[in-house]
Structure formats: C-alpha cells, structure tokens
Amino acid sequence: MSKPKIVVLGAGYAGLKTMRELTKSLSPEEADLVLVNKHNYHYETTWLHEVAAGTINPNQARFMISDVINPNRVRLIYDAVVEVKQEDQRVILENGEITYDYLVIALGFESNTFGIKGMEENAFAIVDIDSSREIREHIELQFAKYKTDEHAKDSDLTILIGGAGFTGIELLGELVEKVPKLCKKYDVDRHKVKIINVEAMPSILPMFTKDLVSHATQSLEDRGVEFRLGAAIKECSEDGFVVGDDNELIEAGTVVWTGGVTGSSVLTESGFELTRGKVTVNGDLRAPGYDNIFILGDCAWVMDEEADRPFPPTAQAAMQHANTCARNIKALLDNEPLETFIFDDKGTVASLGTTDGIGTILSGTELKGKAAAAMKKVVDNRSVLLLGGPKMLLKKGKYRPF
Ligand code: FAD
Ligand code: NAD
C-alpha cells in the first residue's frame, strides 16, 4: 500500500512548526512529507515592522528553510499556491500542481484595506520581507533626494501611518529610533520630519489598560509622533490620506497602511466558506466538511467560546495550532481520536522601539518600559528557537543591549 502524502502549505509560524513536529512524530515509512512555500526562506513576520523601518537588516529576520528542515526527509517546493481543488485532492501552484492525502493550509495573512478608495494603489503595507524592505528603501530615498531634488517639499519627509493597532504602534516605535539616524546621515533638520499616525478609534491599543495605553501614547509623542485619534481615513490619494468629515488631506512622502489584515486569498479562490476572510475551523482545526484538511494560523477563525469572539491572530496562537495539528494528523494515521485545540494564552507585548514597550503577561501582570522591551526580545528569540533550533537562535537572535 502506498504511503499517505501530507502536504503543508506555507512555512510561517504555523506551517514550519507543523512540519518540524511531523518530522519528529512520523517515521519516513509512515508518510511522505511535502512543504510548499513561496520563498526558499522562512521570515519572522513579527519582526517585519523593524525591517520596514530599517532598524534591522532584512536578513536577520529570515533563514533558509533547508537549514532547518531536512530536504532528504521532506520534499521542499518553492512556489506560490494558487488554489486548492478539494474534490480531487490537488493543489494548483503557479508552476505546477501537487496531490495530497492530508493537507495543512497555513498561508498567513494579507493586508485588508476594507475597500478604502486608493489604499491598495497608493499605500505601502507590511506583509512580507519584500513589501517591508520596499518601505525602508522608500523612506531612505525621501531623505536622500530632499537636498538634491529641486522639486522636493518638506512634506516628502512626512511618514504617515494609517491605523494604531499593534502593527502601526510597533512600526512607530521603530521609526522614532530610525528617523534621527536618517536625519544625521542626510543632514536633514529633525524638525522638518513629521511622523503622523491616523486612527479611527479614540485610543490606541484599546485591549490594554488606561495606564499602559497612556504610557505608550506619551512615550511615542515624546519622541516626535503626532497622533490623530478618532479620525477615520476615507481615501488614500497619491499625496496622502483624506481624513474626517471635512475631507482634510494629510500630505506625506511615505504612506503605510496598517489598518487590518485578513486570511490568504487562496481560501477565497478555493471556495471555502469564510468568516471575514478566514475559515471557521472545527475544534480539531479541520475545515468543516473536510476530514483531511487542517487550516491554521491567520487563515483560521478560531472561536474563544468563553469570550464569544475569535482569538486574535498571533504567532503565539499559530505555533500552538501547529502542535495540535501535528498530533491530530498522527492520530488520524493511527486511527486514534483527535484532540480539541485549547489556546494557552501566555500574554501580549507591544514593543515601542528597542528600549520601551507595554504588555500583559501571566494572566494579568502588567509590564511597561524596559521590562516589556526585554520580554519582547525573549518572545522573539523563543520563536526562532522553536522554529530554527539553538544554532539558528545564535545566528539570528536579538541581543542588542539597552
Ligand atoms: P505567516 O507567519 O505570515 O506565514 C505564512 C507563510 O506562507 C509565509 O512563509 C509566506 O511566504 C507563505 N505564503 C503566503 N502566501 C503564499 C502562497 N500563495 N503560496 C506559497 N506560500 C505562501 N503575533 C504575535 O504573537 N506576537 C507579535 O509580537 C506579533 N508581532 C507582529 C508584528 C507585525 C509587524 C505583524 C505584521 C504581525 C505580528 N504578529 C504578532 C502577528 C503574527 O505575525 C501572525 O499572526 C503570524 O505570522 C501568523 O502565522 P502564520 O503561520 O499563519 O502566517
Ligand atoms: P488591527 O486590526 O489590530 O489594527 C488596525 C487598526 O487600524 C485599528 O486600531 C483600527 O481601528 C484602525 N483602522 C481601521 N480602519 C481605519 C480607518 N479607515 N481609519 C483609521 N484607522 C483605521 O491590525 P494590525 O495592527 O495589523 O494587527 C493584526 C493582528 O496581528 C492583530 O490581531 C494582532 O493581534 C496581531 N499583531 C500582534 C502583535 C503583537 O502581539 N505584538 C503585533 C502586530 C500584530
């Protein structure tokens, strides 16, 4: 009898961790393993705001998949997934196709512009290494040409961020550290550079207590961020955001949208039933109606039944999905009962640059300042350890002193 073929789509937190677990729990005689990813590298999505601001080198945030997954054990395919054809158990790739017996879909998120006019065309978004590197290069170009281009305006130096969720706030924390360095490098007066955040809600990061929110707001304002809270972005033109009831235009040379995310569009292409762009999975993380398809990470809508809302899409949750999924695939092969996913919330930390942050850990303990920043580095390093092992941690870990 031929061996079952297990195909994992995506080598992010959920996909790479699933594959690492499967290589430990299944012998080569038990199953063929295939990992499909767009690039030949894994990147730490949770570090992309640093790549976008230019506070870390893009190479620090990524590593080769073949360095952490044995290509003799797992067939590695570097190609883009286009569609899943469930009826004949096939995955259509940009340059070919592949069949499966068991499928894990872990293709992550895409930026969600909610149909705001001009946003897709005119704003940058933090999605992967390439899109983040583009932001860094674009910002630097604005500084580089400010003194030499006779048409350059002061507003070319303005950096406008749309949305003050985690991504927007963490990006601001990096920008306030990067901008003074760019000013020095290109002889630009710091007062000429504006960093503006526009947020529709009256507060940033409402999931944190008032004390933590006010710490974060004050810290960023002290370092030069201008907040425009309670201001909904209605449009994004080539020149900047159109905001509020009076259609005010805020001009900027760099515009970044961090206003929300949704699941991979491959889910839509494949005809899955979706809740806000994601698949509402069963307790065992399988897609409803499909016994052999698991959906993980930012592609999955996993309900927190107690709170009657979905768990937020995080790397922490994605790696926990992976552990449950790998055990459930093994259970399916062994004809054992499947387990139900239970989220073990270890807390949340938002960085505000290298030396500041806010967070809540261990069911309620609040952290701010250097303690939160240190905790964030622990979390970042832990993820490299879990996905890449100790050698990769030594190579890519964050050890910058305060
Ligand atoms: P990802 O890790 O994004 O991986 C998806 C993989 O699929 C990638 O390798 C991608 O290249 C690949 N892929 C995508 N499309 C295709 C395709 N069509 N074909 C082939 N391959 C494809 N969460 C936290 O818990 N803590 C944090 O501190 C934190 N910080 C964040 C900071 C930023 C700037 C951002 C944007 C997010 C942050 N998050 C954080 C959220 C977290 O990054 C996501 O929840 C997490 O990445 C989801 O994991 P995933 O495996 O579903 O997707
Ligand atoms: P988000 O949905 O959390 O935040 C988007 C923000 O944009 C919201 O505050 C929203 O009010 C605002 N917004 C939306 N439309 C707007 C408009 N028209 N005008 C002005 N403001 C508008 O998105 P995100 O920050 O990209 O985060 C995505 C997910 O990734 C989150 O669920 C989060 O849990 C996770 N994440 C976690 C961390 C962390 O744990 N440190 C960091 C980054 C992201």
Q: Which ligand is nearest to the CA of 127?
A: 1
353 CA distance to ligand 2 middle (Å): 17
Say what the pTM is: 0.97
What pLDDT is stored for residue 1 in this prediction?
A: 65
Establish whether residue 232 lines the binding site of ligand 2, counting it when its CB lies within 6 angstroms of any ligand atom.
Answer: yes
CB atoms within 10 A of CB 323: 18
Task: Let me know if 170 is a catalytic residue.
Answer: yes
- Size of the chain, expressed as the number of residues it contains: 402
Ligand 2 mutation target, pool 49, 166, 255, 379, most atoms within 8 A of CB: 166
Query: Ligand 2 in contact with 173 (CB < 6 A)?
Result: no
Tens of pLDDT along the chain (402 residues) come to 689 999 999 999 999 999 999 999 999 999 999 999 999 999 999 999 999 999 999 999 999 999 999 999 999 999 999 999 999 999 999 999 999 999 999 999 999 999 999 999 999 999 999 999 999 999 999 999 999 999 999 999 999 999 999 999 999 999 999 999 999 999 999 999 999 999 999 999 989 999 999 999 999 999 999 999 999 999 999 999 999 889 999 999 999 999 999 999 999 999 999 999 999 999 999 999 999 999 999 999 998 888 888 999 999 999 999 999 999 999 999 999 999 999 999 999 999 999 999 999 977 899 999 999 999 999 999 999 999 999 999 999 998 766
Fill in the amino acid letter for 162.
G
Which CATH number, 3.80.30.20, 3.30.9.10, 3.30.530.20, 3.50.50.60, labels domain 119-260? Answer: 3.50.50.60
Tell me how many degrees the CA angle 65-67-72 measures, rounded to the nearest 5. 85
* pLDDT at residue 106, as a whole number: 98
The CA distance from 68 to 99, in Å, is 24
Instruction: Give yes or no for a contact between 180 and 186, defined as CB atoms under 8 angstroms apart.
Output: no
Query: Which of ligand 2's atoms lies nearest the C-alpha of 198?
Result: 20
Residue 282: CB atoms within 10 Å: 18
pLDDT for 319 equals 98
Q: What is the pLDDT of residue 304?
A: 87
CATH annotation of 5-38+79-111+262-345: 3.50.50.100
Domains 5-38+79-111+262-345 and 119-260 share a fold: yes
Burial class of 319 by CB neighbour count within 10 A (0 to 12, 13 to 18, 19+): buried
- Separation CA 157–CA 47 (nearest Å): 24
165 Cβ closer than 6 Å to some ligand 2 atom: yes
Closest ligand to C-alpha of residue 53 is 1
- Ligand 2 within 6 A of CB of 261: yes
Q: Whose CA is nearest to atom 30 of ligand 1?
A: 46
User: CB of 255 within 8 A of CB of 162?
Assistant: yes
Atom of ligand 2 lying closest to residue 163 CA: 7
Alpha helices (H) in 187-232, listed in sequence order:
210-222
- Taking the CA atoms of residue 32, residue 36, residue 14 and residue 261 in that order, the dihedral angle to the nearest 10 degrees is -160
Residue type, 135: I
In this prediction, residue 305 carries a pLDDT of 83
Q: What is the pLDDT of residue 2?
A: 84
Q: With residue 18 as reference, give the H or E element that holds it.
A: helix 13-25
Of the listed ligands, the closest to the CA of 49 is 1
Catalytic-role residue among 21, 44, 50, 170: 170
Give the residue ranges of DSSP H helices in 275-360.
315-333
For the chain, the domains span: 5-38+79-111+262-345, 119-260
Q: What's the gap in Å between 303 CA and the centre of ligand 1?
A: 19
